[in-house]
Amino acid sequence: MSTIVIEHLARVEGHGGISVELEGDTVTNVRFDIFEGSRLLEPLVRGKRYDEVAPVLSRICSICSAAHTLTSLKATEDAFGIHVSPQTELLRELMFRGESIESHALHVFLLAVPDYLNYPSATAMAADKPAAVLLGLRLKKLGNQIQEAIGGRAVHPVNAVVGGFGRVPTVDQLIGLRSSLLQAAADEDTVIDLIASLPATDFCHSDTFFAALRSPSHDSYYGGDEVMVMSNGNRAIVRAPDYRSLTNERSVPHSHAKHSTFKGNPFMVGSLARLTVNPRRLTGKLAVAMKRFKLQLPSDNPMDNNKAQALELINDLERSLEIIEHLLRDGIKDERAMSVHPRAGTGSAITEAPRGLLIHSYTYNEEGRIVSADVLTPTSLNAASIELHLRRAVEQCVDRDEATLTKRLQMIARAYDPCISCSVHLVRK
């Protein structure tokens, strides 16, 4: 029996990474250990009052900070029966877009593209193609700017509170963002050219279940409370309060991690899932991009998640501009956050964070303090699917030399854009 162990991917749990065990030609075990969000995060918020919850959770992850904050607020508002204003929903959607731009730009240009072009790292690629890396950084910065303007602060969006916002952005801030977004239009074309020119990656195919938030407009990260799970034309709906049917944690044979499966099936969340579950007739640049990327839906190739992210990146830029134009046209109202009357009860919220479905669910007591909390990150939801695809990649890899196999497994894991130790960024020596 031989074992291939790749990298240390999970620092929080202390052990893990990708581990594949083979007996002869048979894959006997595939393991992918990740940050089990709920277990570790719950102690941090238990006993906290409703206004303290989101600030704590926003600090878990600097890139997912806005998503955690807003999903947390949504869950609390659900528990207390608070309905925020349409303007608040629009501003929150804009924050999600900004975060998605930041996250996708970073992942696509600093991680995925070097993989496709056979560079060991973004730094190595920067020597040959500085423009590509600078593009990624520029777009990341734009994503940050959007989040700062709406969220109020560079590192933690303190401006988003239960019931709304502390202070709405000013017209000048919106005009500034609009100007930056208009300039980014040229960058969108560069993104399309670059991604379209990437070599094909064809080493893993597997019928895949996808799960994503079903939004009324088919295009929303924040609004909506139904998840659609689909595969091969079969669909099922899961409503927010019933999120546990997505996360029945059970031991899957040949694997250690507690997995999320839907009716026994692993499912994938993230950009590819969103595109698959919410089909829209794409127009303009998006249609062009789709065609040039040669992206066909539904896809059975997990590497397509990278292309899907690039597509979403363009959509996020366009959609952000749309939202800002809308706010400028209608005039931004100086609304205060709605007043909060805590009550005992449970609230659940599902949103689409950049790397997939994010779920927060809280139970409060009558004082408005947390009794129990559940946080499911997209990466934990993806664990079963990642293992499945890793297994398939090994099975479908005819030439079993370790170097090739290792590279392919890494590429698949990275295509999922895993948020592993999403907050620990230790210097490693």
Reading the block at residue 184, the tokens are: 């980014």
Reading the block at residue 348, the tokens are: 């659940």
The burial of 429, by beta-carbon neighbours within 10 Å (0-12 exposed, 13-18 middle, 19 or more buried), is given as: exposed
In angstroms, give the least distance from the CB of 82 to another protein: 23
72 or 103: CB nearest another protein: 103
Per-residue interface string for the shown chain with another protein, residues 364-403, x marking contact by CB under 8 A: ----------------------------------------
Interface size with another protein, residues (CB under 8 A): 53
Which DSSP letter does residue 205 get?
A: -
Residues 341-380 as b/e (b if ≥16 CB within 10 A, e otherwise) read ebeeeebbbbbbbbbbbbbbbbebeeebbbeebbbbbbbb
In angstroms, give the least distance from the CB of 406 to another protein: 11
Reading the block at residue 155, the tokens are: 């590192």
In angstroms, give the least distance from the CB of 381 to another protein: 15
8 or 244: CB nearest another protein: 8
Q: Does 260 bind another protein (CB under 8 A)?
A: no
Residues 2 to 61 in contact with another protein, rule: CB under 8 A:
7, 9, 11-12, 14, 40-41, 43-44, 56, 59-61
Reading the block at residue 67, the tokens are: 């998503």
Q: How far apart are CA 151 and CA 66, in angstroms?
A: 8
Q: Which of 4, 52, 62, 206 binds another protein (CB under 8 A)?
A: 62
Binding piece for another protein, criterion CB under 8 A, among 81-89, 93-101, 130-138, 202-210: 130-138
- Contact (Cβ atoms closer than 8 angstroms) between residue 82 and residue 340: yes
Binding piece for another protein, criterion CB under 8 A, among 135-143, 227-235, 243-251, 331-339: 135-143
Q: How far apart are CA 421 and CA 131, in angstroms?
A: 29
16 or 347: CB nearest another protein: 16
356-364 β-sheet, strand order: 345-353, 356-364, 370-376
Q: Does 297 bind another protein (CB under 8 A)?
A: no
70 or 227: CB nearest another protein: 70
Phi-psi region of 237 (alpha: psi -120 to 50; beta: other; left: phi over 0): beta
38 or 88: CB nearest another protein: 38
Q: Does 414 bind another protein (CB under 8 A)?
A: yes
8 or 292: CB nearest another protein: 8
Beta strands in 354-397 (DSSP E): 356-364, 370-376
122 or 204: CB nearest another protein: 122
Beta strands in 13-116 (DSSP E): 18-23, 26-32
- Residues making contact with another protein (CB under 8 A): 7, 9, 11-12, 14, 40-41, 43-44, 56, 59-63, 103, 106-107, 110-111, 120-124, 126-127, 130, 133-134, 137, 140-141, 144, 154-156, 410, 413-414, 417-429
